[in-house]
Amino acid sequence: MNPDYFMRQALNEGRKARGICGDNPPVGCVLVSNGLIVSRGHTGRPGEHHAEAMALANLQEGLNDISAYVTLEPCSFQGRTPSCAKALVESGIKSVFVGIIDPDPRNNGAGIQLLEAAGVAVTVGLLAADVEHDLGPYLLLNK
């Protein structure tokens, strides 16, 4: 299956966060194993799960060789919730596909570095124009 297909599913997932995620970006995430989507997540209310954390929480145990598709770079810092980049590393995920880098100065590449330092294969820029469109208001805030 084409990586764009899974990023499109992550975009659809992120749209579910609109109107509930407060000042957080409406991010979507899907987890893929053996060419199948095995879990989905989107940004919850402020202080609740981020997209990646929700997808990991919904993941069945015992699956391996999992890839994550996330519209925005996973967060590297502890804010109102724990770092998603760290949670992905701890889950043993093998590869992460990211739409765009997070312009928030607290992140801005640090999430990617954290993943790569742990040996996770990271690909950035998948469907970037679509992600920028969906995250427009958030990107304007962080210009």
Contacting positions for Zn ion (CB under 5 A): 50, 75, 84
| Closest of 35, 80, 81 to residue 56, by C-alpha | 81
Nearer to Zn ion, 81 or 123 (CB): 81
Task: Name the 3-class secondary structure at 25.
Answer: coil
| Closest of 22, 61, 51 to residue 111, by C-alpha | 51
Nearer to Zn ion, 84 or 93 (CB): 84
Nearer to Zn ion, 7 or 29 (CB): 29
- As a 3-state breakdown, the chain gives helix, strand, coil percent values, each rounded to 5, of 35, 20, 45
Among 13, 48, 52, 132, the active-site one is 52
Active site residue 61: no
In the complex, what is the shortest distance from the CB of residue 2 to Zn ion, in angstroms, rounded to a whole number?
26
In the complex, what is the shortest distance from the CB of residue 87 to Zn ion, in angstroms, rounded to a whole number?
8
In the complex, what is the shortest distance from the CB of residue 75 to Zn ion, in angstroms, rounded to a whole number?
3
CB-based contact 91:64 (threshold 8 Å): no
In the complex, what is the shortest distance from the CB of residue 53 to Zn ion, in angstroms, rounded to a whole number?
6
Q: Which positions ≥6 away from 133 have C-beta within 8 Å?
A: none
Give the whole-angstrom CA distance, residue 33 versus residue 103: 29
Nearer to Zn ion, 75 or 89 (CB): 75
Residues designated catalytic: 52
